[in-house]
Amino acid sequence: DSKVDKLQRGDELPPGVMKMVKVFVATKRKLQPGDKMAGRHGNKGVISRIMPLEDMPYLEEGVPVDIVLNPLGVPSRMNVGQILETHLGWAAAGLGKKIGDMVNGAREASMTQVRKTLREIYGEKSFKADIADLDDEQTLELARNLSKGVPFASPVFDGAHEPDIVDMLEMAGLDKSGQVTLVDGRTGEAFDRKVTVGYIYMLKLHHLVDDKIHARSIGPYSLVTQQPLGGKAQFGGQRFGEMEVWALEAYGAAYTLQEILTVKSDDVAGRTKVYEAIVRGDDTFEAGIPESFNVLVKELRSLGLNVELNQSAT
């Protein structure tokens, strides 16, 4: 009864609020440089450039590719599944085209050839079980459905092996390497060597550059360390980590480093001093003691160690 009562009452509203209205606005966002995409093998990446269709590399038949992926993304992560998927997709499309060419000129005499090709693709067992009993009209309809590409399933640990894919590629009349000659869309000249081309699933990930863009000048600071908060949601600053500090040390950029570690971070007095100096048009300022040092001193005192900072001139 209490659950039903709660459902009927609805959410607890703030005092003085009679009714709350929530509005969701859906927007379409076109892909742009900086957006993230991924395949099905952990092969994620960021779009670096979007080119006009006529500038994209194209096959010798004139068909342009949709996406160009860097091959350096394969050896380091060792996710070779993406190459397997590319080759399988290429074979599937090639076989579909082969069937489509037959169907487009299909007459009574060529139905025998269509059935023969389907038998080669599906194997004797599957052909007898699913296709052999179909009449000419049904076989033709099946062939038309396959003309865009023959569907493949490659289960984990029990999927296609390299020889299987090579057989499929050869059956489709394609190079068994899975590579083709690509032509540079900008120059019209063929690339130096053949390139692997195929069909794979690519998905748009929910990491869009429009949601990530962020800048801050003065904003909220942590109460304990007096350093700027982190993250876009908190209107935070960019973290300058250990390795970045080492980089500035290596360059000998002493003033830049001091600025980042003090007045741009947790030197409370220095923050106001540098602001006043900038307003005056002066470029001299003195960095004080970062608040993080005081936090360290307090933590040492909590361990029973009395640490005092001697600020005398000597």
Residue 9's SS3 state is helix
Residue 36's SS3 state is strand
- Identify the CA nearest to 290 among candidates 310, 275, 270: 270
Tally the C-alpha atoms within 13 A of residue 243's C-alpha that lie toward its C-beta. 0
- Identify the CA nearest to 144 among candidates 102, 100, 112: 100
The residues that bridge with 196 in the sheet, in sequence order, are 179
Q: Which two tokens stand for residue 255?
A: 């003033």
pLDDT at 313: 60
* Measured distance CA(280)–CA(298) in Å, rounded: 36
Q: Which residues make Cβ contacts (< 8 Å) with residue 92, sequence separation at least 6?
A: 149, 150, 151, 152, 168, 199
- Report phi then psi at 261, rounded to 5: -85, -10
* Measured distance CA(128)–CA(65) in Å, rounded: 37
Residue 191's SS3 state is coil
Q: Which two tokens stand for residue 198?
A: 């195929």
Taken in order of first residue, the domains within the chain and their CATH numbers are 36-204 (2.40.270.10), 218-302 (no CATH)
Place of tokens 């057989």: 167
Q: Which two tokens stand for residue 18?
A: 């009679």
End-to-end CA distance of the chain: 78
Quick one: 10 exposed, middle or buried, by C-beta within 10 A (0-12, 13-18, 19+)? Answer: exposed
pLDDT at 51: 96
Length of the chain in residues, anyone? 314
Per-residue pLDDT of the chain (314 residues; tens, 9 = 90+): 778 877 777 778 888 988 888 899 999 999 999 999 999 999 999 999 999 999 999 999 999 999 999 999 999 999 999 999 999 999 999 999 998 888 876 555 477 888 888 888 888 888 888 888 888 888 888 888 998 899 988 888 888 888 989 999 999 999 999 999 999 999 999 999 999 999 999 999 998 898 889 999 889 999 999 999 998 999 999 999 999 999 999 999 999 999 999 999 999 999 999 989 999 998 888 888 999 999 999 999 999 999 988 876 65
Q: Determine the Cα angle at 44 with ends 43 and 48, to 5°.
A: 125
- Identify the CA nearest to 121 among candidates 87, 164, 163: 164
pLDDT at 109: 46
The residues that bridge with 36 in the sheet, in sequence order, are 46
pTM here?
Answer: 0.75
Quick one: 270 exposed, middle or buried, by C-beta within 10 A (0-12, 13-18, 19+)? Answer: buried
- CA dihedral in degrees (92, 94, 95, 97; nearest 10)? 120
* Measured distance CA(108)–CA(228) in Å, rounded: 78
The residues that bridge with 183 in the sheet, in sequence order, are 58, 190
* Measured distance CA(167)–CA(311) in Å, rounded: 81
Pairing of strands 182-183, 58-59: antiparallel
